[in-house]
Amino acid sequence: MFDRLTDRLDNVFRQLRGQGKITERALDESLREIRRALLEADVNFKVAKAFLAKVREAALGQEVMRSLTPGQQVIKIVHRELVHLLGATAEPVRLSPNPPTALLLVGLQGSGKTTIAGKLAQHFKAQGRLPFLVAADTYRPAAVDQLRTLGAAIDVPVFGPEEAGSTNPVDICRDGLEKGRVTNRSLVLLDTAGRLSIDDEMMAELAQIKQVTSPHEILFIADAMLGQDAVETASRFHDQLAFDGVILTKMDGDARGGAALSVREVTGAPIKFIGTGEKLDALEPFHPERIASRILGMGDVLSLVEKAEAAFDKDQAKDMEEKLRKQSFTFDDFATQLQAVRRMGPLDQLLGMIPGAGKALQGQQIDEGALGQVEAIISSMTRAERTRPQILNGSRRRRIARGSGTSVQEVNRLVKQFNAMQKMMKQMSRPGRRGRGGPKMPSMPLPG
């Protein structure tokens, strides 16, 4: 999501690290390059100016100038100021001690409010809560049907015009909130209508909904692809509605990051979540320190661990560990692990969370389809073949290649890599071979 900005900043920092001593002139040159990088990323120019002033003031301190590693000190300062710019600490949605918590979703048409409503419902349901969706966008064709489809996909009830007996969004929100209360739902998510641009009619309607529902939080949904336009729209919405937080959508696309770096400073409202894909689980809580580390190419191990914990079933992991110990790991087990990895999200996003991985793979195309290819090969095997790969003779491999739409060479490569992995596991399970001096687990390259 911040690839271009990360690359530009990395070039600046590489030059700083190469200098034994940083002069004021060299610092100003570096700051000019950072300024260009921020403006290219569509960061608000006033925000960029204030940010660089703070970095310059801190970087000219005696501690930095006398340091043996002034370049690293400047990078540390940039990271610290980025964290402050993004909001310093994570600010989750405030839940009411007396359910249901009412969350009013607002924003322009096309920003992704309805999809975010479904993602938020999925997010809170995974936490053990009981969400309730209210479809109050009666202007956009199929908006109500879209929310009903999302609700059905995650088994969350949806309240709309039919249930309210009215097409008035104010009535739908008021009655929907009451329905959520009497049915003991934990959260009520109010999906409202947007417009192509801010107009008095829309703002008046939202003000009425706010008045009759008294939401615990108003969340502004912004399309990160719009950059400065998203920040300007957020500022105008905040002036009239005083929303409590921001959710940025489409951060997995060609968003340059400017909205994320500007919206907190411009509106004073924290970013609560970012949408990182089309699937309903592609929603991340916003952690300023982690995002700052991603921007500077430092990775985000904590988010990666959280994704892994959510994707891998604890009982399955324990069972897998036992199989590895008994050397009974099969192609079925490998396919199960592969599916869990895919649930964690797109490969390029996962690799971006590993410190140094983004730089190491710079310019290389991450083939997401290769994972599907491996699954197709394994699915084309019989149960006996998946359990005992040693029976895979030439004719069997040709059949598997035809069934999976791959070549015999690709099947051979996967089987060879799997056999090598099993062999290494066997060596690792021997007594005395699992300490620091034992062999390391080999990587499992993908075909293609």
Mean pLDDT for 112-132 is 95
Residue 389 has a pLDDT of 85
Mean pLDDT for 31-44 is 88
174-203 pLDDT, tens digit each: 999 999 999 999 999 999 998 777 788 888
Task: State the Cα angle at 172 between 169 and 176, rounded to 5°.
Answer: 145
Mean pLDDT for 157-161 is 96
Looking at this protein, which amino acid is placed at residue 381? Answer: M
From CA 246, how far away is CA 286, in angstroms rounded? Answer: 10
Q: Domains in the chain, start-ordered, CATH in brackets?
A: 3-86 (1.20.120.140), 101-300 (3.40.50.300), 306-428 (1.10.260.30)
From CA 212, how far away is CA 102, in angstroms rounded? Answer: 11
Residue 4: enclosing H or E segment and its boundaries?
A: helix 3-17
Mean pLDDT for 268-278 is 90
Residue 196 DSSP SS3:
coil
**What tokens does 26 get?**
């060299």
Is this model's pTM higher than 0.85 or not? no
The proportion of the chain whose per-residue pLDDT surpasses 90, expressed as a percent, equals: 36
Residue 136 has a pLDDT of 95
From CA 77, how far away is CA 375, in angstroms rounded? Answer: 45
Residue 151 has a pLDDT of 96
For the chain, the average pLDDT equals: 81
C-beta of residue 247 within 8 angstroms of C-beta of residue 114: no
pLDDT greater than 70 at residue 403: yes
pLDDT greater than 80 at residue 369: no
Mean pLDDT for 73-91 is 87
Strand ranges of the sheet holding 131-135, from the earlier edge strand across to the other edge:
158-159, 131-135, 187-191, 101-106, 217-223, 245-249, 271-275, 283-285
Of 107, 170, 163, which Cα lies nearest the Cα of 132? Answer: 163
pLDDT greater than 90 at residue 88: no
Phi (first) and psi of residue 246, to 5 degrees: -125, 140
